[in-house]
Amino acid sequence: MFAAKLPFDVTRVPFYYGWAILLLAVLAMFSSLPGQTAGIAAFTQPLCAVTGLSDLQLSIAYLLGTATSGLVLPSAGRLVDRLGARRAYCMTTACLALTLFTLVKVLQQLKPAAEFATPVFMVTMACGFLGVRFFGQGLLPIIANTLVGKWFDRRRARAAALLGVVNGLAFSYAPKAMSDLVDLYDWDGGWLRLALVLGLGVTAIAWLFCRDTPEACGLSVDGEQGSTTTAQTAVVDRPATEAVRSLEFLVIALMLCAHGTVLTGYTFHLQSIGPESGISTKAAMAFFVPVAIISIPTGFTMAWLSDRLGARAMLTFMGINATIAYLSLAVMDRPGMHTLAAVTLGLTTGTMGPIMSTAVPACFGRSELGAINGKLHSLLVMTSAVGPLIFAGVRAVAGELRISTAVLAIIPACALAAATRIPWQAGRRR
């Protein structure tokens, strides 16, 4: 059923099939939205109304589901390597659809006023969040990045640049799109329609058009005849167990996890941080608009130049901007700091995607890319899940939420220092 030549032989198409795979990677990122924070946000208040849970109780359930998802993602990444991206893609979209469908039906049957309703709803929502976060936020991005890494080598920078632009636009529009969906069909109708699209539409498209690797289809990477690497640019495939202990992986993980923690914690407490910074709640909610405007062209540029820059230059750029951004966020009530924070945070966010899609395969090779991506996404999910708690803990000690970003600035600063020990040629083409 999953043979490379079924239902058609991709070697007969009049272009390199990797570009079709890139579209499927984009579709995977779009399909992950029901499990992303940007996609869940529009459903939180309706869920509180249906379940009778408070914002805090729903947040705890969200944290438990997200953290558990992060714990099992490394095994899922290895499963992508073992099964192949095509099987994993189909299974993941089908399971995400089943999770949404089941969660809706269970919540429709439970009664908020019944005895023991609160613990039952918390357990139900924690299990539901585990499913949507694991399949949506976790597995689908792993599959998307793995597909790009396996189908492109010399052209990986171009592919990642296009993927980054589309993803940036999609995630910027996601909150409004999901909100409109809830307004039209309510929370249960919205999720059921998403389940239908994922379970039937996306799963069928994945089976029809996705393929695991170019080699399995009788193609060369990038569509070039013969080997696509030279002595100067060859990447040695490193086992996942060795890769995750390397300095490159440590620095990448520190950079990405620090940024995920700051973004999640800051966004979660945004309505409280605004008054602390001397700006209105409305202005605080609009803060990420200029960040998105800056991050999208930054992601495109960094991905396009990634082969020339290499991992060390990209990590250095991200570390400098992240450190400045987090320190600026803590003092946004001072003149000029609001603008500085928005610019540097946009540059940091824009660099995050290219590092995941280009620097990781460039440093560690393609053979166990799913397992390496799985470990990286696991760390990212778990650390971002505790972001709101870290901010709350800092407020309990220091009296202000915004001080948290200054404390967390220590992490990219340390990673920046460690990045100086990475060879300049790592992930770099001449």
d(CA 196, CA 216): 31
Are 136 and 252 part of one and the same domain? Answer: no
Q: What is the pLDDT of residue 398?
A: 84
d(CA 104, CA 393): 34
Are 129 and 61 part of one and the same domain? Answer: yes
Give the angle subtended at the CA of 69 by the CAs of 102 and 365, to the nearest 5°. Answer: 125
- Tokens 């001072």 -> residue: 334
176 neighbors 67 (Cβ within 8 angstroms):
no
Which residues in the chain come in under a pLDDT of 70? 113-115, 172, 175, 224-235, 270-271, 281-285, 427-430
Are 306 and 178 part of one and the same domain? Answer: no
Are 265 and 215 part of one and the same domain? Answer: no
Are 267 and 191 part of one and the same domain? Answer: no
d(CA 101, CA 122): 18
Residue 232: inside a domain: no
Full residue range of the structural domain in which residue 203 is found: 10-223
258 neighbors 412 (Cβ within 8 angstroms):
yes
Are 34 and 134 part of one and the same domain? Answer: yes
Residue 228: inside a domain: no
Are 70 and 118 part of one and the same domain? Answer: yes
Are 44 and 102 part of one and the same domain? Answer: yes
Are 151 and 256 part of one and the same domain? Answer: no
367 neighbors 80 (Cβ within 8 angstroms):
no
Are 211 and 249 part of one and the same domain? Answer: no
The tally of domains found in the chain comes to 2
Are 79 and 143 part of one and the same domain? Answer: yes
Predicted structure pTM score: 0.79
* Radius of gyration for the chain, computed over Cα atoms and rounded to the nearest angstrom: 21
Q: What is the CATH number of the domain that holds 49?
A: 1.20.1250.20
212 neighbors 84 (Cβ within 8 angstroms):
yes
Are 40 and 145 part of one and the same domain? Answer: yes
Q: What is the pLDDT of residue 396?
A: 83
